[in-house]
Chain A
């Protein structure tokens, strides 16, 4: 074990790996700080760049982008009361009142310290838990895998968006899209229309960049256009000398909130489908109930920032537990990481630890190093990040369209993929406008192949004797959980509609 840790840190401590982590964190913070963009957009646009890196540097770079982007979202939330991402909305509740009191810098320091601490705790949980999880997953047969996937879909559909029905539609539409191309068993063509470009199916990079990044940017641009191109926020400038100091002792005095929020974030991150936003708001609510200053939440209470930032950053590490152990992404950022792994010829899942153990342990070491770099970069660059948050969206958003086109063209050098991206950008805008979850669509598309293979293997294995399936307690457990989650989601949707 000690040998593995030493060699992992050796692999992670190379010059180019450190450069990749540093660049990922800086780009993540910068893009996360720009209202209207966010860590998911940053990851989607930057995935193609990783094609030219070694697998470890590529994954470390994207993890850095995710870490930086998650904490970067707090900057516009605190300074402009304009959270760039939904999960940062809870940071604005107490961060912005602090900024209005002139304590903007202190609020930003609370945010970055909590973010890094939550991240570190979650990374350690990942390192401890991933091996036992993978060991259990190795015992799973096709039936168990099918049921686990159904459970993940139910969680996704039940939590994401305003209606579980729309969630299920989006997931199965994504799965349907994944069937385009050559059949995984017979290699016969399915809906290819004789197009060679479709033999490998639709490209994940085109779909992800089009549906997640470009569509979000277009919707932002349309929103800005509706407001007549005017920005509707004012910057609360950090004032020199006023409430800038944050002694370590003061930060650590909130250790209960830090620990509780990190645990909430890690737990939410480990369950497939539950997102960062849920972790942030669950943690904020729990901190408010537990704190003696609960009634002051929303008026500039540092505990509010700590609870939100520690929880949403804790999701980043923990969502790699199901990603590495099962090959099932914890959230959309993990789904994009799976896409990057596949691009480098690595199939996530329980065999990843045995087949690519060096890479996995190197990734763990890179994540620990990334936390240290994140702390230094985030702390020293506070004044700089503020400048990115105030660049008008009218200047930032149009060039992103070009970055999306170049990002899709780079790996395949195919105009076909650019066309597919533009189609999915249009579909993404329509889905955002009509309230269908893009996350469900992309995760459905990503897991479609795995779902089809395990379902077909299950059907062949039992060959009509489906009563024998009852003998698998794991499958039964996940099937019961799936039904429970869906029933609960439908009842909740009905209550809110009444």
Chain B
């Protein structure tokens, strides 16, 4: 499901070009730094080196990403808007919510993190009817889940 801006062909092409550029950069990072640094490159006893397969897959991603850029080059030059910034803004917002949720689980436990996550989700939906029910869900559900998980699975949520 895409947003309304990303649906036109030219705009989609520009977005494809930008995605291709990001993926090319990411695969280059994998080929030039990540794999040589964090995967042993030497083969033993006539075996194939552990780094061979990661190199092959990263190389395929890089070649296809470059091809994606080439096939959408025209759209990149002619279309001005792609919705790319909106996607980045959404992702930045989601990162903050996700980071906050993880931090709260680690520091204060599941209930506070659960309330935070549900309140953020309610804010994102802009749904403002049945507010009493939403308040009940955001506060009651984390408690209910913590209690239910303990009763059913005998697992203590953090």
* A172 adjacent to B114 (CB under 8 Å): no
Q: A169-B68, A172-B57, A395-B134 are in contact. Are A432 and B1 (CB under 8 A)?
A: yes
Closest to A180 in B: B54
* B127 adjacent to A392 (CB under 8 Å): yes
Total chain A interface residues with beta-carbon distance under 8 A: 69
Interface of A is mostly: helix
Q: Does B67 touch A at the CB level, under 8 Å?
A: yes
In A427-455, which residues have CB < 8 Å from any B CB? 429-430, 432-436, 448, 452, 455
B41 to chain A, nearest CB (A): 10
Q: A228-B126, A426-B94 are in contact. Are A395 and B61 (CB under 8 A)?
A: no
What CA separation (Å) do A432 and B6 show in the bound complex? Answer: 11
What CA separation (Å) do A406 and B101 show in the bound complex? Answer: 13
The digit string for A194-227, where 1 denotes a CB below 8 A from any CB of B, is: 0000000000000000000000001111111111
Set of chain A residues within 8 Å of B83, measured between Cβ atoms? 433
Q: Does A151 touch B at the CB level, under 8 Å?
A: no
* B38 adjacent to A193 (CB under 8 Å): yes
Set of chain B residues within 8 Å of A186, measured between Cβ atoms? 40, 44, 47, 50
Set of chain B residues within 8 Å of A192, measured between Cβ atoms? 38
* A222 adjacent to B12 (CB under 8 Å): no
Q: Quick one: which of B47, B50, B141, B153 contacts A410, CB cutoff 8 A?
A: B153
Q: Does A185 touch B at the CB level, under 8 Å?
A: yes
The digit string for A162-193, where 1 denotes a CB below 8 A from any CB of B, is: 11011011001101100100010110111111
A188 to chain B, nearest CB (A): 5
Q: A165-B68, A190-B38, A434-B19 are in contact. Are A176 and B48 (CB under 8 A)?
A: no
B57 to chain A, nearest CB (A): 4
Q: Quick one: which of B44, B87, B121 contacts A434, CB cutoff 8 A?
A: B87
Set of chain B residues within 8 Å of A292, measured between Cβ atoms? none
* A169 adjacent to B23 (CB under 8 Å): yes
* B134 adjacent to A433 (CB under 8 Å): no
Set of chain A residues within 8 Å of B12, measured between Cβ atoms? 162, 435
What CA separation (Å) do A149 and B35 show in the bound complex? Answer: 24
B91 to chain A, nearest CB (A): 6
* B30 adjacent to A394 (CB under 8 Å): no
Closest to B75 in A: A497
Q: Quick one: which of A162, A169, A185, A220 contacts B61, CB cutoff 8 A?
A: A169
* A398 adjacent to B118 (CB under 8 Å): yes
Q: Does B149 touch A at the CB level, under 8 Å?
A: yes
The digit string for B49-62, where 1 denotes a CB below 8 A from any CB of A, is: 01111100110110
Q: Does B32 touch A at the CB level, under 8 Å?
A: no
B52 to chain A, nearest CB (A): 8
The digit string for A143-175, where 1 denotes a CB below 8 A from any CB of B, is: 000000000000000000011011011001101
Closest to A432 in B: B1
Closest to A48 in B: B153
Q: A402-B118, A434-B15 are in contact. Are A229 and B50 (CB under 8 A)?
A: no
Of the 9-residue stretches A102-110, A261-269, A323-331, A411-419, which lies at the interface with chain B?
A: A411-419
Q: A190-B39, A398-B138, A429-B90 are in contact. Are A176 and B124 (CB under 8 A)?
A: no
Q: Quick one: which of A172, A393, A409, A436 contacts B127, CB cutoff 8 A?
A: A393
Q: Does B128 touch A at the CB level, under 8 Å?
A: yes
* B95 adjacent to A426 (CB under 8 Å): yes
* A176 adjacent to B95 (CB under 8 Å): no
What CA separation (Å) do A219 and B15 show in the bound complex? Answer: 18
B112 to chain A, nearest CB (A): 12
Q: Does B137 touch A at the CB level, under 8 Å?
A: yes
Q: Does B28 touch A at the CB level, under 8 Å?
A: no
* A185 adjacent to B50 (CB under 8 Å): yes
Set of chain B residues within 8 Å of A497, measured between Cβ atoms? 9
Q: Does A473 touch B at the CB level, under 8 Å?
A: no
Set of chain B residues within 8 Å of A229, measured between Cβ atoms? 125-129
* A401 adjacent to B102 (CB under 8 Å): no
Q: Does A16 touch B at the CB level, under 8 Å?
A: no
A227 to chain B, nearest CB (A): 8
What CA separation (Å) do A220 and B126 show in the bound complex? Answer: 12
In B1-36, which residues have CB < 8 Å from any A CB? 1-4, 6, 9, 12, 15-16, 19, 23, 30, 34-35
Q: Quick one: which of A225, A397, A435 contacts B2, CB cutoff 8 A?
A: A435
* A433 adjacent to B2 (CB under 8 Å): yes
B71 to chain A, nearest CB (A): 7
Q: Does A25 touch B at the CB level, under 8 Å?
A: no
* B65 adjacent to A179 (CB under 8 Å): no
What CA separation (Å) do A81 and B39 show in the bound complex? Answer: 52
* A224 adjacent to B53 (CB under 8 Å): no
22 contacts between A and B (CB under 8 A): A169-B61, A169-B64, A172-B57, A179-B57, A189-B40, A218-B94, A221-B121, A222-B3, A224-B126, A229-B127, A392-B130, A393-B125, A394-B122, A395-B133, A399-B141, A402-B141, A402-B145, A410-B149, A410-B153, A434-B87, A435-B6, A435-B12
Residues of B at the A interface (CB closer than 8 Å) are 1-4, 6, 9, 12, 15-16, 19, 23, 30, 34-35, 38-40, 44, 46-48, 50-54, 57-58, 60-61, 64-65, 67-68, 71, 83, 87, 90-91, 94-95, 98, 101-102, 105-106, 110, 113-114, 117-118, 121-122, 124-130, 133-134, 137-138, 141-142, 145, 149, 153, 155, 157-158
With A426-B95, A460-B46 known, 4 other A-B pairs at CB within 8 A are A163-B16, A165-B67, A221-B121, A434-B16
